[in-house]
Amino acid sequence: MSQQGYVAAPPYSQAQPGMGGYQGGFGAGPAQPLYGHYGGQPQAFAAPPTGVMKPPVSTAAGMPPPPASSQYNQNIQQNGAHPQRYPAPPASSAYGQPLQSPYNSVASQAPPPAQQLTNQMSAMNLGNYAPGPMLNPPPPTQQPFQTAPPPAMGQPPMPPGPQSPLMSPQMSPPQSPPASMAMGGPAMAGPAMAGPPMAGPPMAGPPMAGPPMAGPPMAGPPMAGMGRPFPGPPPTGPGGFQQAGPGAASPLGYQQQAGPFGGPMSGPQPGMPGGFPGAPGGLAGPPQKKLDADSIPSTTQVIEEDQGKQGGQVYSTNIRGQVPPLVTTDFSVQDQGNASPRFMRCTTYTLPCTADLAKQCQVPLAAIVKPFASLPKNETPLYIVNHGDTGPIRCNRCKAYMCPYMQFIDGGRRYQCGFCTCVNEVPVQYFQHLDHMGRRVDFYERPELSLGSYEFAATLEYCKNNKAPNPPAYIFMIDVSYNNIKSGLVKLICEELKTLLENLPREDGMESSAIKVGFVTYNKVLHFYNVKSALAQPQMMVVSDTAEMFVPLLDGFLVNYQDSRAVIFNLLDQIPDMFADTSESETVFAPVIQAGVEAFKAAECSGKLFIFQSSMPTAEAPGKLKNRDDKKLVNTEKEKTLFQPQKGVYEQLSKDCVAQGCCVDLFIFPSQYVDLATMGDVPSHTGGSVYKYNNFQVETDGEHFLRDLRKDVQKNIGFDAVMRVRTSTGFRATDFFGAIHMNNTTDVEMAAVDCDKAVTVELKHDDTLSEETGAHMQCALLYTTISGQRRLRIHNLSLNCSSQLMELFKSCETDSLINFFSKSAYRAILNQPLKNVREILVNQTAHMLACYRKNCASPSAASQLILPSAMKVLPVYMNSLMKSGPLVGSTELSTDERAHQRLSVMAMGVEDTQLLLYPRLVPLHNMDTGSEALPAPVRCSEEGLTDSGMYLLENGHSMFLWLGQASPPDLVQNIFNVPSLGHLQGNMCSLPELDNPLSKKVRSIINELLEKRPNSMKLQIVRQRDKPEMLFRQFLVEDKSLHGGASYMDFLTYVHREIRQLLT
């Protein structure tokens, strides 16, 4: 991973109210930006520079600002109501001081020195810069690096030497070139970081030229579509960028920005707060150039570079705290003592040694655990260790399981726990001698001593009531009300189940699945079916008392599919006909789940309910719902109620499900509002999923739904699971996000956990960590397999610790950070206004980057935006998160759609949130049809599209094939078998099978993606400038959003401004 600080000289100094459609619209926001981690205490940076008015730190009633408990984390104790305030930094220790040189460690490269702006400008051929007051070159002698960094692992140390701007960062020796050296050739050449060291022209005008601002600093993160423009200084000249005060030569003007409604932006109005008195009216300086989006860090480039560097290679997990390849990189893993990154990833692989450092840098410390992640075919499945009746070896004090971090001593008779340091006796039957290195002689024969991940066979004491569990069961519960019959859905499900039940998941080596199956149909009443193998015809039993739910038959309801196959086929043929003439349109929902729980109780097993529901449950029964959708609540304090499930019946139902190991998967086919926030509540607490198909039609959505159903039934899965995360002394797991239930603060309970579900675990210090010993984590999952065995799955991970912030920033992982931020923000919107949540996200982004700038980057002009290499694309993801459905206050988005995305993200792993927030946009029109490789994705922006091109966009949930209006006829003919775009059918959802290389290649790319992603995606074909194209454009996350939300460029501008405000 290239570790330079990324330097982008922003073409911006102040975000302007009309610029790029940022509208403030957040009201005054919390009167004071609340920095600080969600749940940590807010810290306010006091003492703004003279002349900048800060809004008073008080709430409406003149009280001190709310304590942090009003922030994200509701269950953390507050020490006092007043947020801490940082004292103003003394003038001498201002940020302008040269900082200690950043230093380098394992496998990292030196940050390129912040070179003179003139050098970079000449390199980018932007030319004609007047030497404005801002260009203070660093003195030629200054060298941020006095010494060469330690050699990267397994590589010889590099000799120091002069740095050529064209060397790739992997090679650059840590010498800062003399400031006079002009960079030859375009700095774009060479696989440097995402963009040249200094991307984009420098700001027009010195950092804060002109009189200080009179208006208050901007009160909220940029989101368009919110109403009035930002508080803060309006644009100061026709160019829309702040200009130098009179007398300063103004370097490079910009094209006039369009105002919010298409006209040019107005200059400052006299008398408006924040207008600069005496700012020059016109733009001085050389001819104007348009801003270049290619100069800001690019996600696709970061992904491509990592793939180029680590793609196809073997990643060995034998080194503590090493940063794995990105989730988007194609690599294989060799487990050598730490869990594979497929199972565990962290927001940073170097923890700060103290809580104070953690607070200072604001980088959240978290691990994302995906205990059942699927492994590719070329990686070894987990070994199962069986210690017989004695069960797994565990530390007597902290109960951690035997793992590579246990240190054997005393000739092998005792071992010291790597988590709590307690010294334990080795049980006689487990004794083994040590070799000359102090390692057990059987080290390599025992997975629990040499591997990061493995399983233990659990003994009866790990089972409910000390008896071995029964194999789990799957119950298919089909809503046979009018809508589902009329749409053809019931017939479709019954036909599919005939083949699908052949593919129930089974243990390796077993001929058939041990999972039992059962069938229920329902509308206002429930129909249970007896499908015992001895019967010639299935028998139906009806329960109409939905208030007191019970299962009317024990024997013959849950059966082995192979034994009862003939009866089941019979039933599946009869169901569509039985209800063909129904006029019943009302349904129940809670009693259906209750029936499933009761069935599992009676059979003493765990399992999963597959519920196919058409509408909101409005029939008189427990859990009846009413329409509470209210668009008037959007952008108000009460908007959060739209995401909150209705309390009562469903809350109790979740607890009952988890206690019984009953997972609920909901397939819903709505034609209007169904209160998904409530209906999805049980699935989202039981390790289940919610699949939603609006206005379902068999012709266009049937295949899409069946793909989801097949994936869902065949998934690798464990039932009745409890997970606990143990850590070494000094830090602990404090909070958990996922499709989980928490009865207490330590046990994560999941009725089921499958290969796509991840739990994000937040970590906090409770003492100082040691650099020597590092930090250890062990995630232990107790569960029942699909064949009914009780097992323990163990994942271990060791991290580095450091008292140097540079180390922490170097080993951060943006994709994991954004997973954490998404989940914590999506949880926070349940109990605070969206505006506050967005503000916290922006503040924390600015805070992390300001901390890096202050403590780790070499000194440079304040106008430069300097980003840590590992986080250089964090802003694009953060901006995308803030524009996502749940966080954007727009009345155009359906409430159910927003609730659905919120619930889906809570259970996602790192690769899923990465793709959701930065979709892949792949050009298909000019690819080599003979090559195996997928074409390289382009930036997710309109600028990446050409009128004659064809692009595939996918984010794991939606898939579009976009066709430019000038697409060549032969391209259209080869893909669609029609002469031109005008002949395309409007509702195509799959491509015709044509016998030509392009058609085959495009279809194979689409099928491969559908295979690879956890969810099915419905292919939507859109033509440029057609109405459906609006939907497609929402996914171009670098552009301004239709529903309100800044472009990436504008967001970067805004964050940079916030950073500078923190630094002054």
Distances (CA, A) of 517 to 497, 506, 536, 588, 813: 11, 14, 18, 22, 43
Greater model confidence, 233 or 541: 541
Burial of 547 (0-12, 13-18, 19+ CB in 10 A): exposed
Q: How confident is the model at residue 670 (pLDDT cuts 50, 70, 90)?
A: very high
Average pLDDT score over residue span 652-680:
97
pLDDT at 115: 34
- Model confidence at 372: pLDDT above 50: yes
Query: What is the model's pLDDT at position 295?
Result: 81
Per-residue pLDDT for 123 more than 60? no
pLDDT at position 69 over 50? no
- The length of the chain in residues reads 1064
Average pLDDT for 653-676? 97
Predicted confidence at residue 910, as pLDDT, reads: 98
Q: Which residues of 600-622 are buried (b: 16+ CB within 10 A; e: fewer)?
A: beebebbbbbbbbbbbbbbbebb
Place of tokens 């103003």: 88
How far apart are the C-alpha atoms of 167 and 192, rounded to whole Å? 8
- Stated as kind and residue range, the H or E segment containing 568 is helix 565-578
At 285 the pLDDT is 38
Render pLDDT for 933-976 as a digit per residue (tens, 0 to 9): 889 999 999 999 999 999 999 999 999 999 999 999 999 999 99
Higher pLDDT, 332 or 160: 332
Q: What was the pLDDT predicted at 292?
A: 66
pLDDT exceeding 70 applies to what percent of the chain? Answer: 73
Under 8 Å between Cβ of 812 and 351: no
pLDDT at 340 over 60: yes
Q: What is the pLDDT of residues 1019-1054, one digit of tens each?
A: 999 999 998 899 999 999 999 998 889 999 999 999
Half-sphere exposure of 170 (CA within 13 A, CB side): 11
Q: Is the pLDDT of residue 328 over 60?
A: yes
- Residue 985: predicted pLDDT: 80
The pairs formed by 324-329 with CB atoms below 8 angstroms and a separation of 24 or more are 324/813, 326/302, 326/813, 326/815, 327/815, 327/910, 327/911, 327/914, 328/303, 328/815, 328/911, 328/914, 329/303
Mean pLDDT of all residues belonging to the chain: 80
- 641-665 average pLDDT score: 96
Query: Looking at residues 118-146, what average pLDDT do you find?
Result: 37
- Comparing 80 with 698, the larger pLDDT belongs to 698
pLDDT at 472 over 70: yes
Contact 286, 235 (CB under 8 A): no
pLDDT of residue 137 exceeding 80, the answer is no
The pLDDT-based confidence of 860 (bands split at 50, 70, 90) is: confident
